[in-house]
Each structure stands twice: as C-alpha cells, then as structure tokens.
Amino acid sequence: MTTPLWRIAMTAPARAAEALAAALEPYVTALTAMEDTPGGTWSIEGLSETEPERPTIVAALALAAATVGTPPPDTVIEPLPEVDWLSLNRQSFPPIREGRVWVRGSHVTDPCPAASIELIVDAARAFGSGSHATTALCLRALQDEIRRRRPGRVLDLGCGSGILAMAAAKLVPTARVVAVDLDPVSVATAAENCRLNRTATRIRTGVSRGWNASLVRGAAPYDMVLANILAKPLCAMAPDLGRGLARGGRAILSGLMTHQEAQVVAAHRAQGLRLVRRYRRDGWSALVLG
C-alpha cells in the first residue's frame, strides 16, 4: 500500500515568493515556484510524503511573510488522492525532446527521431519525470559539456527517476555512473528504469543523503556531477562537491530559481569552483561549475 502525498500550496506576491519558498522548503520533498504573470503573483507548491504539521508550517510562512512586509499567505494543505500513474502518464506526459535526448512514456509508439537517444520513463511516485524545466536544462547542459569532454565517472545526486543518469550512460557509453537519492522509492524507480532502458550494467543505484553513502564516496572523484535538487541543499553540499569533483571536472547544478543563482555560486566559489556557464528557462536555472 502506498503512502498518500500531501500538497501544500499558496499564491504570493513576487516580493514574497523567495522568502515563502525558502520557509516551505524544509517541510517538503519536492518544491516548485512558478511566476504566474511577469512581476505579478507566484504559485508556490510543495509535496510531502508525510502529513504536514499545519500549525508549524503556517507559523513559518507567516514569519517569512512578515520579514518582507506582506500578509500571511492563504495556504492550502491537503492530501492528494491515490493516482493511477499509468493513466496520468498517458494523459499528461507527451514525448519530450531536448537536443539528442528523446524521453517517452511506454504508451508512446512513435519511432525515436533520427540521431536521438531514447529514454522510456513512465510517471511514477518518484519525483523527476523529465518534464520539469530544470531536468530539461540539465539535459541541455549535459549534452553541451560532453561535446567538450567525455566524462569517465559520473554522479547523479538526487536522481529521482534516473533520467539524467541514463542520459549520461547512453550519451557516453564508456562512462560509469552512480545514481543516488535520499528517497528509497526514487531509487527503486530509477533502478527499474535503468533495467528497462538497458543501462543497468553501467549505473549503480543506491540510497544516500547527499554524499554520505560509501557508494558515493568510494567512486569519487567524479569527472561530472549532476545535481538537480534545491538551492539550499546545493549550498550545504558545496564542500562535498569541492572535494569530490575531479580536477578539470564539471558540475551541473539545478533545481534553483534564477534569483537563487548568486547564493549557489557564492557557496561554491568558496570551495574554489567557478561559474562556467548558466542556462535559464521559465524562471529556473542550471549552473555549470568547474
């Protein structure tokens, strides 16, 4: 029996969006913040795999709103119904093409576009179906980087459904990839997707909170690190990245909004890493550091 997901959602003025998203982040497993209108309101939504403590969250959001001089947001906290994920996949997950990478659900029978690599990924309880802008940005950055240098050792940190790890394995068949997530459901989903996409022999999956697992530490240093998570944990793990990235290696970091770029860059600059390039889409960013 699966555990129901809980949704925490609100609408906020632009000047309060960053503070409210930061306040909500510790209480959720996945977080999105989208601009509804340029310079206008933002929609902020988080998903939790445990029942949220409503008084604690409401108080944290009220405090965050007060720091920027706005009223507390009207916050919806509700359980999501059990979902027929395959049906949802068929309805809302059309094929996605980003450069040479073509991601489709198993229900799609269209042939793979010429000169593309195909990834079959169905919607699942694991976060990271590939449709989010940050995943697309990481796929774009990954392809740009491997044209400059083909990595031998790759880490997908916070792998979700495993899309980035599988893309790296298919784009660079000689690479050895480690894919980890703190969520066991995500790891199980990623492992199954690796088997389905015939990359399991080159991708080692496991549960890890950041760089803590021996699987992650033992395979370091990495020529490439992919981390599509959130700004706060990216900053917290900057020292680990500084130690775990090989000389001349590249890190592709995403899951952050454009206004969070400066803090993520600063945290990694303190570890001797510099910003090489950035990608932006729909208010989200991916940063390439080395």
Whether the Cβ atoms of residue 115 and residue 149 lie closer than 8 Å to each other: no
Q: Which fold has domain 139-289?
A: Rossmann fold (3.40.50)
Q: What is the 3 state secondary structure string of 101-128?
A: EEEECCCCCCCCCCCCEEEECCCCCCCC
* β-bridge pairing 176-181 and 153-157: parallel
Measure the CA–CA gap between 7 and 45, rounded to whole angstroms. Answer: 7
Residue positions forming the annotated binding site:
135, 158, 181, 228
Which listed CATH number (3.30.70, 3.40.50, 1.10.3470, 3.90.1570) goes with 6-79?
3.30.70
pLDDT tens digit at each of 290 positions of the chain: 445 789 999 999 999 998 999 999 899 877 778 777 777 889 998 888 889 999 999 999 999 999 999 999 999 999 987 655 455 545 556 778 899 999 888 877 788 888 899 998 876 544 444 447 888 999 999 999 999 999 999 999 999 889 999 999 999 999 999 999 988 888 998 999 999 999 999 999 999 999 999 999 999 999 999 999 989 899 999 999 999 999 999 999 999 889 899 999 999 999 999 999 999 998 899 999 99
* β-bridge pairing 76-79 and 6-13: antiparallel
Which positions ≥6 away from 225 have C-beta within 8 Å? 154, 155, 157, 241, 244, 245, 249, 250, 251, 252
Measure the CA–CA gap between 102 and 119, rounded to whole angstroms. Answer: 6
Of the chain, the end-to-end C-alpha distance in Å amounts to 44
Residue positions forming the annotated binding site for S-adenosyl-L-methionine:
135, 158, 181, 228
Would you list the domain boundaries of the chain?
A: 6-79, 139-289
For residue 262, CA distances in Å to 171, 198, 251 come to: 30, 39, 16
